[in-house]
């Protein structure tokens, strides 16, 4: 119609008023056509709606021109109509209407809701809140950290009425199996996965998954199990609510990075972080989104802190070749971040709760002039250090103590921050490095089961002050005795020492039980798992190997 009014407006002999009315009608028709097109976008895929619009426009224009003005319908017009109609037929056959996909998705959700009477597990914390936002209810997976959210809807669950899984052990599943059959029957119709609320899942609640096979495997006792026989394990379909789109197979990678140019490990809105770079590389190489990967790390290193043995957990729905994956990731990562190894893990592995210890190194250059080649990785101390006094002070820290005075866990808004300040240090060594390779090099090595915020940097600052004879070695025992009976810094804002700068600190190693790399073992058999071995509940404090904050 718009074309007709356009032709009428330009016809010979038309007066000014007639032309104006034709132009008004022309614009009205164009507006109506655009409105219809936009409305169709709400009901059809954008490509299909565009093809519909073009087909209607070409056919109507040709037929109206022929009927009203006697215009010739040539071969080019016929060819255009045939091409548009052919494309429309192909698109319609390739993708079912959105309404069909919605019905299929709703049917799958109904089948899953009716299959399990067990209520869904509690929502996860944000790995970016735990981790900075971790990935509790983190984006894309229960989604992540670190740092990671639990998705409110589940990925299509595969399975059939007669099948069993690798982790099934004498668990009745009649209703679950029937739900799986219904879900698998309608799942192919749904083209889009259910949206997730984003981020990585909490590491203690969204442990990773194992492959589904038709064989049955006996699980090994968990880290806290003292009995020889593993208890009976039950599984359910609670993954639909509790784990969102998190991948079924758990992996961990060893990561090394120079933290100088990054604002720490954890994701931040407008700052470069190690997690952001690694997630981008994983998404590029694996062709998965953050909700499936659920990236989370063993330690949330601060801005400027380095790592040689950071451990990062992620999930995926397929087996991955570890050596090739490391090579591909390093090809897209910046040169100051490197993946050293990739391994499959136990399905209920938790990168934050399963460690049995961590080791930090703090590097110092004790010389008249700073070494420019170690400036990014060592703290320069010009005054000669008394290593004997430093070692005497360090010995007092070994064992289980209240480290409130060696931390930044002060008050928030007038209320004390809720942190457990009691930590266990296995060793605190002051090591003099090879004077040829590292002139004036001194390294403080701290190994323990958990650490408070900036605790290692406080320890390094105190030991440096003792080495410079600003503080006596007995200051350590005094601070440990005070504990949490006074806020950190009981002597005022200046505690007699300066917190050591971040550039000298390196996360050297995170230790795990060797069984964490066995995909056929369950580390926590006494807890509830889904059919892939992923945890459906938080790991209680009694079973945690690490008390990291």
Residues marked active site are found at 302
Q: Which residues pair with 297 in a beta bridge?
A: 312
User: 3-state class of 237 per DSSP?
Assistant: coil
Q: Measured in Å, how far apart are the chain's first and last C-alpha atoms? A: 70
Q: Which residues pair with 505 in a beta bridge?
A: 362
Contacts of 123 (CB under 8 A, 6+ apart): 136, 137, 149, 150
Q: Give the separation between CA 267 and CA 133, rounded to whole angstroms.
A: 8
Q: From the CA atom positions of the chain, what is the Rg in Å?
A: 32
Residue 139: how many CB atoms within 10 A of its CB?
26
| DSSP state letters, 507-533 | EEEEE--GGGG-TT--S-TTS-EETTS
User: Residue 436 corresponds to which tokens in the numbers above?
Assistant: 């040829």
Are β-strands 296-297 and 441-448 bridged in parallel, bridged antiparallel, or unpaired?
A: unpaired
Contacts of 427 (CB under 8 A, 6+ apart): 398, 445, 446, 447
Q: Give the separation between CA 362 and CA 508, rounded to whole angstroms.
A: 9
Q: Give the separation between CA 275 and CA 345, rounded to whole angstroms.
A: 20
Q: Which residues pair with 250 in a beta bridge?
A: 315
Q: Give the separation between CA 255 and CA 58, rounded to whole angstroms.
A: 58
Q: How many residues does the chain have?
A: 549
For residue 434, with 0-12 CB atoms within 10 Å meaning exposed, 13-18 middle and 19 or more buried, which class applies?
Answer: exposed
Q: Which of 196, 116, 188 is nearest to 154 (CA)?
A: 196
User: Residue 28 corresponds to which tokens in the numbers above?
Assistant: 């009205």
CA trace torsion 42, 46, 47, 52 (10° rounding): 40
| DSSP state letters, 344-355 | E--TT--TTTS-
Q: Give the separation between CA 460 and CA 476, rounded to whole angstroms.
A: 12
Question: Within 13 A of 456's CA, how many CA atoms are on the CB side?
Answer: 31
| DSSP state letters, 358-385 | EEEEEEEEESSS--GGGTTT-EEE-SPP
Q: Are 144 and 200 in contact (CB under 8 A)?
A: yes
């Amino acid at each position: 119609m718009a074309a007709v009014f356009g032709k009428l407006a330009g016809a010979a002999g038309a007066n000014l008023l007639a032309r104006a009315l034709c132009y008004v009608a022309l614009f009205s028709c164009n507006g109506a056509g655009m409105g219809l097109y936009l409305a169709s976008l709400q009901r059809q895929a954008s490509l299909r709606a565009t093809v519909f619009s073009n087909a209607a426009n070409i056919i109507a224009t040709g037929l109206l021109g022929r009927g009203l003005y006697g215009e010739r319908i040539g071969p080019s017009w016929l060819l255009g109509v045939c091409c548009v109609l052919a494309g429309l037929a192909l698109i319609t056959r390739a993708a079912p209407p959105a309404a069909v996909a919605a019905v299929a998705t709703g049917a799958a959700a109904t089948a899953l809701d009716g299959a399990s009477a067990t209520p869904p597990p509690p929502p996860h914390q944000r790995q970016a809140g735990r981790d900075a936002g971790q990935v509790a209810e983190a984006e894309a997976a229960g989604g992540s950290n670190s740092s990671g959210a639990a998705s409110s809807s589940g990925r299509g669950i595969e399975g059939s009425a007669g099948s069993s899984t690798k982790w099934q052990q004498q668990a009745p599943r009649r209703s679950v199996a029937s739900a799986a059959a219904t879900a698998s029957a309608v799942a192919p119709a749904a083209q889009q996965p259910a949206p997730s609320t984003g981020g990585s899942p909490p590491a203690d609640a969204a442990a990773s998954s194992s492959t589904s096979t038709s064989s049955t495997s006996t699980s090994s006792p968990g880290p806290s199990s003292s009995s020889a026989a593993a208890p009976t394990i039950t599984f359910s379909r609670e993954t639909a609510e509790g784990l969102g789109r998190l991948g079924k197979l758990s992996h961990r990678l060893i990561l090394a990075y120079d933290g100088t140019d990054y604002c720490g490990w954890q994701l931040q809105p407008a700052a470069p972080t190690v997690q952001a770079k690694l997630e981008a590389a994983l998404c590029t190489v694996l062709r998965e989104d953050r909700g499936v990967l659920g990236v989370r790390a063993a330690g949330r290193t601060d801005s400027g802190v380095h790592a040689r043995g950071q451990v990062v957990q992620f999930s995926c729905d397929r087996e991955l070749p570890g050596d090739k994956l490391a090579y591909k990731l390093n090809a897209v990562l910046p040169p100051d971040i490197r993946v050293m190894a990739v391994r499959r893990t136990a399905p209920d592995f938790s990168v934050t709760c399963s460690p049995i210890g961590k080791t930090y190194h703090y590097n110092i250059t004790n010389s008249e002039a700073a070494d420019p080649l170690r400036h990014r990785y060592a703290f320069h101390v010009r005054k000669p250090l008394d290593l004997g006094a430093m070692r005497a002070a360090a010995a007092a820290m070994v064992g289980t103590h209240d480290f409130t005075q060696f931390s930044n866990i002060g008050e928030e808004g007038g209320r004390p921050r809720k942190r457990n300040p009691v930590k266990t240090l296995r060793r605190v060594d002051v090591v003099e490095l090879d004077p040829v390779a590292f002139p004036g090099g001194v390294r403080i090595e701290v190994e323990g089961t958990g650490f408070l915020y900036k605790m290692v940097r406080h320890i390094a600052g105190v030991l440096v002050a003792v080495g410079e004879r600003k503080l006596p070695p007995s200051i350590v025992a005094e601070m440990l005795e005070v504990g949490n009976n006074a806020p950190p810094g009981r002597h005022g804002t200046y505690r007699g020492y300066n917190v050591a700068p971040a550039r000298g600190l390196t996360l050297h190693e995170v230790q795990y039980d060797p069984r964490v790399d066995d995909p056929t073992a369950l580390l926590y058999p006494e807890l509830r798992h889904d059919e892939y071995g992923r945890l459906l509940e938080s790991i209680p404090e009694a079973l945690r190997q690490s008390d990291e904050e």
